[in-house]
Amino acid sequence: MNKIVAKEHFSEKVVKLVVEAPLIARARKAGHFVIVRVGEKGERIPLTIAEADTQAGTITLVVQAVGKSSAKLCALNPGDYITDVVGPLGKATHIEHFGTVVCCGGGVGCAPLLPIVEAMKAAGNRVITVLAARTKELIILEEQMRKYSDEVIVMTDDGSYGHKGLVTQGVEEVIKREKVDLCVTIGPAVMMKFVALLTEKYHIPTVASLNTIMVDGTGMCGACRITVGGKTRFVCIDGPEFDAHQVDFDEMLMRLSSYKDVE
């Protein structure tokens, strides 16, 4: 069991949990995720590690209450224990000196983006981060992103903070003014689809993290099957990051909507 040592509310349904997990904290790299379970019969929930403190032996998870299991996790408080935290899982992000890297995140997708921004900056890249959400209250981790970014652009649908518009508008603004060598996108599937379509037009290599479709996290359930370059891939073991220009986002969106009526 893993103890929660700190909790912070980003919004009504999004919380940050700092959890004791010393072995995971030491082993994790940007892009890795964990599987958590609340209760002996709890559902397995895949969550990307947003931050890790090797000295304190903790990892940071950002959770959005969507269904019963995630709401149960969000309801825990400092001093409470998470039944299981397993990881780090998945393939780590490929980090090297690319040049100028645009990292764009939507909503809670900004949490898994943070360690990538940090690692890209440490590798000597010029990092431009684009954060997007429906409204100001849903922009998260801005202060931490500014710490590791050369520039941060904030986009909100309603114009309540930063620039009014979609994430693609913020990304294209950067592309039009300077050479971009790589784009990394994490967020809702529909957002990543349109970022991929935009960067493909400009011939910019793009990586998308598809962790939103994962369930089991070990390749056994098959729920995270996607098509990449015409071939079937499993997000949890082959990813979670893929060449965004090769991902069949329409298929992914269709599968993500399969249980909407139940949710």
Annotated binding residues for [2Fe-2S] cluster, written as ranges, equal: 221, 224, 236
Max distance between CA atoms of the chain, in angstroms, equals 53
Helices 249-256 + 189-201 axis angle, to 10: 170
Residue 122 contacts by C-beta under 8 Å, 6 or more apart in sequence?
95
3-state secondary structure of 76: coil
Q: Please report, in range form, the residues annotated as the binding site.
A: 62-64, 221, 224, 236
In the numeric block, the tokens 């990092």 are attached to 127
Is the peptide bond prior to 115 cis by the omega test (within 30 degrees of 0)?
no
Query: What strand order describes the sheet that includes 241-243?
Result: 163-164, 151-156, 126-133, 100-106, 182-186, 206-209, 241-243
Other residues' Cβ atoms within 10 Å of the Cβ of residue 246: 15
User: How far from 227 is each of 224, 238, 252, CA to CA, in Å?
Assistant: 10, 12, 8
Residue 257 contacts by C-beta under 8 Å, 6 or more apart in sequence?
none
Distance CA 128, CA 180 (A): 10
Q: Please report, in range form, the residues annotated as the binding site for FAD.
A: 62-64
Tokens at 124, concatenated: 């000597």
First to last CA, the chain: 28
Report the candidate in 133, 141, 140, 139 with the shortest Cα–Cα distance to residue 158: 133
Residue length of the chain: 263
